[in-house]
Structure 1
Amino acid sequence: MKVAFISLGCAKNLVNTEQMMALVQQAGHTITSEPDGADVAVLNTCGFIDSAKSEAIDNILALGALKGEGRLGKLLVAGCLSQRYQDEILTEMPEVDGILGTGSYTDVVPALEALASGAHPRYFGDIQHTDEDGARVVTSPAYTAYLKIAEGCSNGCAFCIIPKLRGRYRSRTMASLLAEAKGLADRGARELLVIAQDITRYGEDLKDGSNLEGLLKELCKLPFHWIRLHYLYPEAVTDSLIETIASEPKILHYLDIPIQHCNDRILSAMRRRTSKAQLLSLFDKLRAAMPDVVIRTSIICGLPGETEAEFEELCDFLREVKLQRAGIFQYSREEGTLAAAMEDQVDEETAKRRVELLVDLQSRVMDGYNEERLGTVMEVLCEGFDREAGCYVGRTYADSVEVDGKVFFTAAGVIPAGTFVPVRITGVSDGDLTGEIEA
């Protein structure tokens, strides 16, 4: 059977897709990324917020059209959208032939066999107990790989549906992680991205002494050049963790710390565990320990009850702390969350305007950071030659995969993808840096 895989959403979802691909491959089927001509397309969806749901539905409809033209056999939908809207998908989307919930990624092969027999499989296993240690068909470039260290989340933020879709926080054992990391290094990975919904709470549930600091120290013994961290929740970033990050040369001084807001009342309504004073203290500590630290964060505009004064406080906060990277999101009212039932829902137009204002503010912060790079020499991970730009393209430690900017640079010789090179920064272009390789 020829099986196509399409993965939507976050890198954590991509890892689940790669695990399904390995199981399908082990069962003797052929893997393809192109649904046109496939016997089955497996669409692994995100269902976190409205924009993700819309993307998933658009993909289902497009694949359904391909089926209608006789260019695709069956459609199996997996992931968060399936988990959240299983009944609606089966009753309202005839394009879908079968579904897998987030507790049933490992049932992908039986589901394919059921589809082949003409059945309509519907697998929804226990989301609190999933196998996260299986083999993967790694789809990222050889020089970059993700290491998913935990599944689920127990933080219970008022705006977030993830615990209901993915279950409670569950750490993988350190032995399984180190074995997988070694395999990724042996495959040629030079950059390792350590990911989970909240990596700072790694090991708390294992009760065996495992923690993020210990895991990072072990990972640093493997032949990676860069180790990048996503996400660290601010209340769980301890002084000892800061010391570990600052003292290990392989761990990048790029920290993804979602704060969501700064106003104390809004933070409390969000059920976040920090105050504005604690956030300011944390950023001061990080910058004292690592003067070159680049902090990425996530911000939500328009939570129910957010006043103009509270939004202005957020603007002032971001102007003051100058976080170099930020994802700005409009509050999405998700059924099943505490925030969905809150009074004083902010109207769509106001929330959208606030997002636009913050995006503009943050772009100026980013421009200021980029301008400070002019004339400096930065280590760049080359990602290949960009034919459209006519030069090489890569990323610095300050730029994570897909979410941040690029460096476009010239070089006299051939620079293979995955090579680390020194680049003198000579310009800024639409948020990206330009430069030339330093001889």
Structure 2
Amino acid sequence: MLRNNRSIFLLSLGCSKNTVDSERLINQAEKNGLRFVENADDADIIIINTCGFIADAKTESIDEMLAAAEKRKQGEIAALYVMGCLSALYAQELRAELPEVDHFFGTSDMEKIIEILGGTFSPKHLHERTLLTPPHYAWLKIAEGCNRTCSFCAIPKMRGAYTSESVENLLEEAILLRNKGVQEINLIAQDISVYGYDRYGSSRLNALLLELSDLDFHWIRLLYAYPQNFPTEVVDTMRERENICNYLDMPVQHINDRILSSMKRGIGKEDTVRLLESIRESNPDIRLRTTMITGYPGETREEFEELIDFIRIFRFDRLGCFAYSHEEHTSAYANLEDTVPEKEKEKRVQEIMELQENISRENNKKFEGQSIEILIDEVDGSTVYGRTQYDAPEVDNECIVNIENNAVKPGDFCTVYIEDSTAYELYGVIEPANLE
């Protein structure tokens, strides 16, 4: 057990779900009198919250561990702890390779971490967080783990079975966030579509959304909806409630039936297209974000062209693409050969993103000459960087605005007149009369 007067640096890598875990850990530690610093060079203890989703994320986590391990070896820090997804999946291998790490923890070992730091874990304060995001937005993790069996994904092995948080606890956490000044909450889980089934026997996503909408948030956003079992009534609620963003992140991954079947997605092309079209019909103002994987084992040029054609025709508002990563602890790794060369994978990713860039440019052009509300994330002199309701933090478009002599700050909402655009930016000027 370590003395409370030592300073701690926590590096949180990977997704927003990891961020929430780190925020909870920091809050628990601070309640025990522990002190966190913003620079690893000023710390006595380093904690790294790792990501293990794909090869690039693993590499980043390993590089950071190696750098911190060198500090531990040279006596520059008193202790090094590693937690999170990569640690959960490869603890045994990592122990052998990195003896400088004092302890490896999984994704649900917060109590053990607090104890080894010399503190006492408090379950009643679990939903209190010290935010790592800017203070005007935050993530709300509505469930942990995943029950899906996607062939390319090892998240269930890292995070365990799907476990919905109770509506009551989520509302309590949301109120705590609002009291901190959070204006925008982003609902996250590995799969928000099945929220509530394990706890209540049926979907509770729409009910939760309605309850959250009654709280005093300016924006509420939905991220990471699985196509299968998606509760479509949510789209109607989104249209009807002013403070629920007309935005949905639904990773589709592919559109070819053979590949979707091999991926074990549980839904084919016809049902996927029908779902996406019905969402747009129910809410014409919605912006849909998706993620695609190309270079999956056995993906032929014809199957890739089918994916390209689908993207060209459907015209997603936001789209990201990954080259398939042949990951251990997945069924694809165990049962399929990684047949598409890496250069070909990257070429296909580039083709998709070039197509999407053109789609995004044409979509953004439609905003020119219009006034639109934005949330300001950053102020730099007379220029501010913000987002529309159609843009999630960290991953989507920016709105770059000349504020001239108007006094604004991060977290403010204001109306902006859009003068110009590119594929991924809007450019505008602030409308002083409409500052909120």
Native 8 Å contact 2:296 2:338 kept in 1: no
Amino acid of the structure 2 residue aligned with 1:254: Y
The CA distance in 2 between the partners of 1:334 and 1:327, in whole Å, is 19
Q: Which moved more, 1:232-241 or 1:4-13?
A: 232-241
User: Could you tell me how far 1:239 is from its partner in structure 2?
Assistant: 3.4
The CA distance in 1 between the partners of 2:249 and 2:10, in whole Å, is 28
The CA distance in 2 between the partners of 1:344 and 1:57, in whole Å, is 23
**Match in the other structure for 1:94:** 99
The CA distance in 1 between the partners of 2:134 and 2:216, in whole Å, is 17
User: What pairs up with 1:13-412 in 2 under 5 angstroms?
Assistant: 13-68=18-73, 70-113=75-118, 133-207=126-200, 211-340=204-333, 341-343=335-337, 345-387=339-381, 390-411=382-403, 412=405
The CA distance in 2 between the partners of 1:133 and 1:90, in whole Å, is 29
The CA distance in 1 between the partners of 2:50 and 2:419, in whole Å, is 41
User: Could you tell me how far 1:283 is from its partner in structure 2?
Assistant: 2.0
Q: Which moved more, 1:412-421 or 1:197-206?
A: 412-421
5+ unaligned residues in a row in structure 2: which ranges?
A: 1-5
**How many residue pairs are counted as aligned between the two chains?**
422
**Match in the other structure for 1:118:** none
The CA distance in 1 between the partners of 2:307 and 2:144, in whole Å, is 31
Q: Which moved more, 1:368-377 or 1:262-271?
A: 368-377
The CA distance in 2 between the partners of 1:210 and 1:364, in whole Å, is 37
Q: Which moved more, 1:344-353 or 1:75-84?
A: 344-353
User: Could you tell me how far 1:208 is from its partner in structure 2?
Assistant: 5.9
TM-score by length of 2: 0.93
The CA distance in 2 between the partners of 1:138 and 1:28, in whole Å, is 17
Native 8 Å contact 2:205 2:231 kept in 1: no
The CA distance in 1 between the partners of 2:98 and 2:217, in whole Å, is 45
Between the two proteins, what is the percent identity of the paired residues?
A: 40
**Match in the other structure for 1:127:** none
User: Could you tell me how far 1:23 is from its partner in structure 2?
Assistant: 1.7
Native 8 Å contact 1:427 1:433 kept in 2: yes
Native 8 Å contact 1:23 1:106 kept in 2: no
The CA distance in 1 between the partners of 2:114 and 2:406, in whole Å, is 47
Q: What SS class does the counterpart of residue 321 from structure 2 fall into?
A: strand
Note the aligned Cα RMSD (angstroms).
1.8
The CA distance in 2 between the partners of 1:66 and 1:392, in whole Å, is 38
- Summarize the Cα distance change of 1:135–1:304 in structure 2 as closer, same or farther, 3 Å threshold: same
**Match in the other structure for 1:6:** 11
User: Could you tell me how far 1:277 is from its partner in structure 2?
Assistant: 1.6
TM-score by length of 1: 0.92
User: Could you tell me how far 1:106 is from its partner in structure 2?
Assistant: 2.4
Moved over 6 A (4+): none
The CA distance in 1 between the partners of 2:189 and 2:338, in whole Å, is 32
5+ unaligned residues in a row in structure 1: which ranges?
A: 115-129
Native 8 Å contact 2:360 2:423 kept in 1: no
The CA distance in 1 between the partners of 2:280 and 2:223, in whole Å, is 18
Q: Which digits, 9 at most, give the CA deviation of each residue in 1:183-221, with x for residues without a partner?
A: 111111110111101111111000266600100000001
The CA distance in 1 between the partners of 2:125 and 2:29, in whole Å, is 16
- Summarize the Cα distance change of 1:232–1:131 in structure 2 as closer, same or farther, 3 Å threshold: farther
